[in-house]
Chains A and B, each alone.
Chain A
Amino acid sequence: MSAAPSVTAANFDEVVLKSSIPVLVDFWAEWCGPCRAVAPILDEISKEHGDKLKIVKLNTDEESALAIKYGVTSIPMLNVYVNGEVVKTIIGAKPKPALLKDLAEFI
């Protein structure tokens, strides 16, 4: 599990949709092996680029309504939100260099 703060239906608007900087939401679950693998990589990216890209996580078991709303069928799914809109979707765990490349426009 990553050290990123959790978002829920209660604070999704505030933390994600109304954020002044891009937000990456890590849709994950306890039972998902690849989610566990990608979590420490996201922590590193957050440490290095947290000023430009906010990284939060969303537990798809506990927040299934949001998972359904954003069409999650595979996790980990990483959605980047800018001004309340999904501008990028990354599906599956990837090594850090590949993630940095995918996220280059935001960091």
Chain B
Amino acid sequence: MSDVMSSNEKVHNLVIVGSGPAGYTAAIYAARAQLEPIIYEGSVTAGGALMNTTEVENFPGFTDGVMGPDLMDSMRKQAARFGAQLITDDIVEMDLKSPIKVLKDGSDNVIRAKAVILATGSAYKEIGLENEKRLSGRGVSWCATCDGFFFRDQTIAVVGGGDSAMEEASFLTKFASKVVLIHRRSEFRASKIMVERVLANPKIEVLWNTEVTDVLGEAKVEALQLRDTVTGSESKRDFTGLFVAIGHIPRSELIVGQIDLDNEGYVKAEGRSTRTNLSGVFACGDLVDHTYRQAITAAGSGCQAALDAEKFLSH
């Protein structure tokens, strides 16, 4: 992209890449600071992970909870109200090392900016089985709220032990006749309230110390091959659906090699700031967060990123 860098098109103050709670909050703060930010929301991922959730009960300020997509829609409108320019496209290439950052979007537009906030979030983690990929969308799913409806009166499996696995399992009992929650350890790492809900649900059976070693079926999921992680014994059990909720991986693939990442692919931020090792590049949300991964912490770090970017731009 070096040839386009030498042309003298408009250089924006700030481009925000990604549009979950982190990206939108960064946009709200940056727009109110009159930085005229451009936010690339993503063509199919706009709104981020919360677009695939239902009720969010722990976002402060919503006494009765709020639907994930509604919360994101409100954040989006709030950013737009202060003048953030929202673009429903993907960034497909970034050159972040020079003082003027150059980004290319999915429609081949080239955007230049003095500062960039990365808020690309995370993607669903896969178990890593060949047949999991092959049967994806044919019984294997990563989104209960998207696909649960199609498993009415069926027996389905959920794999995982965190909050999202609990949420998926509980949600799926609305449709499925039975949900079997498969976890490779003997306890869940999910929050207590979610675990209690799962254990109290008569439609949910828990298989502790169990891992999925294969997904069986020709054209669609028919059964799972399971292994007891303690005894090592193998078994086969019939399921028509497999929902994978074993966590997330940071979406840092566009910036590998340009920016310092840790060994799991998360962007490294400096101390308590959102500054990366590249001048003028900031990172926030799930892209940097191993630990908390909440809507409210993502929003908080989006705010920090906007303030860090504002300070950087004022110098």
Contacts and interface: CB of A to CB of B under 8 A. Distances in A.
A58 to B, nearest CB: 14
A91 B146 contact: no
A41 B121 CA distance: 22
Interface string A90-107: 011111110000000000
A38 B44 contact: yes
Q: What class of interface size applies to chain A in its complex with B?
A: 20 to 34
Given A91-B136, A96-B106, A74 B141 contact: yes
Interface stretch (B1-9, B28-36, B46-54, B55-63): B46-54
A42 B82 CA distance: 30
Given A73-B220, A96-B106, A97-B106, A34 B139 contact: no
Contacts of B300: none
A72 to B, nearest CB: 6
A34 B47 CA distance: 10
A93 B149 contact: no
A9 B151 CA distance: 21
Given A34-B146, A75-B146, A93 B137 contact: no
A37 B43 contact: yes
Nearest to A31: B145
A73 B52 contact: no
B146 A33 contact: yes
A60 B43 contact: no
Interface in B140-156: 141, 143, 145-147, 149-151
Contacts of B141: 73-74
Interface centre among B106, B137, B138 (most CB of A within 10 A): B137
A60 B106 CA distance: 30
Given A71-B219, A73-B137, A96-B106, A29 B43 contact: no
A79 to B, nearest CB: 12
Interface in A53-73: 60-61, 67, 71-73
A33 B150 CA distance: 16
Contacts of A92: 137
Interface in B65-88: 69, 88
A41 B46 CA distance: 13
A61 B175 CA distance: 13
A60 B141 CA distance: 17
A32 B44 CA distance: 12
Contacts of A23: none
A7 interface: no
A4 B220 CA distance: 29
B219 to A, nearest CB: 7
Contact of B69 (A33, A77, A93): A33
Interface string A13-37: 0000000000000000101111001
A73 B146 contact: no
Nearest to A29: B149
A97 B241 CA distance: 30
Interface in A34-51: 34, 37-38, 40-41
B88 A95 contact: no
Interface of A: 29, 31-34, 37-38, 40-41, 60-61, 67, 71-75, 77, 91-97
Query: Nearest 3 A-B pairs (CB), nearest first?
Result: A91-B137, A93-B44, A33-B51
